Structure 1
């Protein structure tokens, strides 16, 4: 089980979307606050990202930006241009969204993707990301990310048989490659947080054990033994790089797993309790209500899609 992939599948909600925008200057598009993270890739021309806080960011062909926290931001041909709200054309069931802004000036084309995350329970990895992740285009850097962009662009450029099946996987692939690229850029002596955690063999082993078997009655000693460290050394290193002590993260992961099962499966409450390490449905319901402020059954009724 891959920790990064598993983490994303747990906190993702709803359907991802992707689309192409074609804008001719002067233009500007405002993306409002919400629970959706956005990824923008410049395919042609140039533009600026105007964050809610901070200085405008110039973008050129091949640049990738990711706004993981759903913060409001604008994409414009140049600072000061008027903006319109993001209102793409789409079918109710389609993964593909399109937006065109006609004008007399230079053309900019972008590839955009949207991901809904559970903002009530952000994973520590996402919580540690900056409000804007910028991956500038550089020859030879992040070739896998560039390949994912090319594949996704081809599907959006000309929808063909199988596009509706291929595109969701490509949208997920793009997000994973963006996060990988950012984590790779953090490597080195100065890296901190989850960039360290996913490159630290001992901590990675501990995370894998928690993610693979949340039902087990793990102790810090057990996890430290799996990682080949003393209890004290493991607990100190885990808390420093993950941001939570081992058993606090274990509880967080159990509750996150339980919420996903309630949203996405028909498993009984007793089955969910067992898979998340609780000896009884009552103990599970009590822990879940303490964490989410509502009973598991009520959560399921209100959070199930459709």
Structure 2
């Protein structure tokens, strides 16, 4: 597994939820904040405006993608002057499908132009949220641009075709496409961040070949007996130079990140599998179940057994 794939697979829980909504102008809709989730809006047809009290209205058109990594509330409307409907619309709306798009939802206005939007959310486990996700801005807008983002455009087109005409297999296809959409959004955002030497943070780290090589090594084999010297060798740097660069970009020393990733991986295994503790301990680099339990409790505040039971 590479770092970005791991970030998503560990933090995500359950299935992404989505709904295919036709808005008939005039319309305006506030979407509530949804803690513990990452929301998205994909404009499939027509145009609309993103409204915010803190910024100028933003016009969006077909193919545009709006991603809200922290579940921030937001407002969409056919025009900046349109009245906004309350109460807020969320994916808990009983009109929306429970897990994927099987039926469309019509929000009737007064017969004006139609805007079709795919809205939805990915559920995240706060206890396993990777620091990369925590550093993302509240809102990421990726304008439609097939020449710059052909893979994102292709994913949007596939989703539009699938949700607009549900068929056999839609229940499996749509969640897979939504996961693909999330991967492309994050990949594009990370690739488009500045790469100046003064830049720090996860975007800079994943654009740094040396640090990325060490991160991939940790994620590929978290159980290996890693030391700073061994990770520096993976990075092709001296021990001191590697430790400085890693700490400056990631915000913690190499072995600190290694321990955090091991305990995050263990948390996922405890909740997602019935593997015995000794097996999970071995998978994250601990030969002693006792040492593993102590490390896990220091990180998560619960013993492994209690965490597994959801106490």
TM-score w.r.t. length of structure 2: 0.90
Alignment of 1:92-103 (within 5 A): 92=98, 94=100, 96=102, 98-103=104-109
Give secondary structure in 1 for the equivalent of 2:241.
helix
Using a 3 Å threshold, how does the CA distance of structure 1 residues 127 and 263 change in structure 2: closer, same or farther? Answer: same
Q: Is the 8 A contact 1:52 1:71 kept in 2?
A: no
Aligned residues: 303
Give secondary structure in 1 for the equivalent of 2:309.
helix
Question: 1:119 — aligned with what?
Answer: 126
Q: Is the 8 A contact 1:215 1:277 kept in 2?
A: yes
Using a 3 Å threshold, how does the CA distance of structure 1 residues 179 and 289 change in structure 2: closer, same or farther? Answer: same
Q: Is the 8 A contact 2:17 2:99 kept in 1?
A: no
TM-score w.r.t. length of structure 1: 0.91
**Residues of 2 paired with 1:112 and 1:91: CA distance?**
12
Give secondary structure in 1 for the equivalent of 2:126.
coil
Q: Is the 8 A contact 2:102 2:166 kept in 1?
A: no
- Give the superposed CA RMSD: 2.1
Question: 1:29 — aligned with what?
Answer: 29
Q: Is the 8 A contact 2:19 2:97 kept in 1?
A: no
User: Which stretch has the larger CA shift, 212-221 or 166-175?
Assistant: 212-221
Q: Is the 8 A contact 2:62 2:144 kept in 1?
A: yes
Alignment of 1:111-260 (within 5 A): 111-189=118-196, 192-260=200-268
User: Which stretch has the larger CA shift, 27-36 or 15-24?
Assistant: 27-36
Instruction: Provide structure 2 residue ranges, at least 5 long, that are not aligned to the other structure.
Output: none
1:3 shift after superposition: 1.5
1:163 shift after superposition: 1.2
1:187 shift after superposition: 4.8
**Residues of 2 paired with 1:285 and 1:231: CA distance?**
30
Using a 3 Å threshold, how does the CA distance of structure 1 residues 156 and 139 change in structure 2: closer, same or farther? Answer: closer
